[in-house]
Amino acid sequence: MSTRLHKPMAFAMAFTATLWAMCFAASAEMPGPDVYYRLSTSFRGADQALDVFNGGDKDNLTHLARRKNVTGQFWSFAPIGDGTYRLTTQFRGPGMCLDIFNGGPNNDQPHLTDCADVTGQFWMIVEENEWVRLKTVFRGKSMCLDIFNGGPDDGQPHLAPCGNLSGQLWLLTSTDQAVNQPGSPPPADVSSQTSAGISFPFEAKSWGGAVRSGPGADRSQIATLNEREPITVLERADAPYYQDLPWFKISFRGRVGYHWGGIICPVDGEVPGTFQVCK
């Protein structure tokens, strides 16, 4: 037989439950500027992370893909100073920011493009329990980043009216990949590696990304390489490290430019300052 609670006791229990929820409910991980994050949704789960298309008709558009240890899934949140952030990837580097198409067939879909002082690149992060909603200054607080479910754009994000939808609930998960500002000095364990220990030139492949006119993320982009595109590494550049790794002078497609070591994989064994070995 159930027991009827007296009103004072019932009120006390309800108050205690509310207080417990306020104190111990899970809260979202909010981004800091020093590490990269993976982005996933409640809708598709943590095993699918936001990634970047490399090449083809959807080049630099984004989509949810199987979680992997790839630079297109490592996102940096750089605070602008007004409570908003610029989003970039380790893959494309700090010169390409997440923006929103305005009109056309990809209207309201995010894509990476050259960073600029435009409101489509100013992202608001709104905490909602253990999740966050992603919005832009451009479209305003009533439009949230959601996920297409089915159709030709299945798994791709787009801005849509905010609602009680699991595709609009994003999880930010910090990684062990550190973000350093361009021009920062290399750490001791990396700077101790000298070019004398590397035999140049050597054959390698690109993980995909920008080739620049000089050794630095602020140099102009002269080409974009495809994932696993063959290159020849000519020398290590005498320039400040970026994100703990050096720049290399490379030969590609009959041209010469500079490629960041974090998106170079040698084919014949490990090389200090590059990322993994191509299989």
Is 38's pLDDT higher than 90?
Answer: yes
Each residue's pLDDT tens digit, 76-99: 999 988 889 999 998 888 889 999
- Give residue 206's pLDDT: 92
- What is residue 109's predicted lDDT score, i.e. its pLDDT? 98
Q: What is the pLDDT of residue 227?
A: 86
pLDDT at 245: 85
Q: Taken in order 91, 96, 100, 106, is the CA torsion positive or negative? A: negative
Residue 197 predicted with pLDDT over 80 = no
pTM, two decimal places: 0.62
148-183 pLDDT tens trace: 999 999 999 999 999 999 999 999 999 888 886 444
| Domains of the chain, first to last | 35-178 (2.80.10.50), 188-266 (2.30.30.40)
pLDDT for 201: 93
pLDDT tens digits along 43-72: 999 999 999 998 889 999 999 999 988 889
